[in-house]
Structure 1
Amino acid sequence: MEFPSQLQYSSEHEWVRQGDGATVRVGITEFATESMGDVVYASLPTVGSPVTAGDSCGELESTKSVSDIYSPVTGLVSAVNDAVASAPEVINASPYDEGWLFEVELGEDSGLDKLMDADAYAAVAGE
């Protein structure tokens, strides 16, 4: 199972990729996609809505269950991946690239410092 080293991870199985400036991209990990099964529906947060680290901000429906999406950081949603809304199977096919979920413009006390590196997350995921 892959956990890219350039990403940071939450204990709820979301990943964060830092971009330029104060915006980050968020998705779910390969571990999460394998646990859930095939994702068939994605309810993503609305652009402009505030998100708080650790709070639910959407949900993913799979062939096995419905799972909350937890924001790993605090800020304002600045973009959502429309491709995921129309073709949620891309989350399973490419969880770290084309299957990203949303972007967040970080606020003060964003929670980035509470996220794990790849090695720490691998231990949590039992890998």
Structure 2
Amino acid sequence: MELEEEEDKDLQLSLKTLSLVNLTTLTDLPRWLLQGSSSTLQQLRIRGCPNLCVLPAWLLNLTSLHELQIVDCINLSVLPEGIDCLTNLRELKIVKCRQLSKRYRENGGEDWHKIAHIQKVVIKDEE
């Protein structure tokens, strides 16, 4: 399945949970994917997307997001600037993402302070 930009402007999704799994060619999250779900999406799970390089700034518009899981996304090196604005985010899981793990680790991570408000943070190098 290809997740390319959708031409249909009438596409409206109202998702609560979205899992993106083993999308090896995915480099960025297409904006249309979350159109209409900015106030409904509660769980976002991204797993096995080795070419994902960036999480878009519009991710911060997901005002109902409670859980964000990022697993085995080796080229992802940073969370969106302003991640601390996601005040409903209660769980962040980063697994097998060496660059992210290093940056956001509680002891010594340069950007730990940006996620310190999240109730449950799990950062592991292995599953």
What TM-score do you get using the length of structure 1 for normalisation? 0.25
Question: Based on CA coordinates, which of the two structures has the bigger radius of gyration?
Answer: 2
Length-normalised TM-score, structure 2 = 0.25
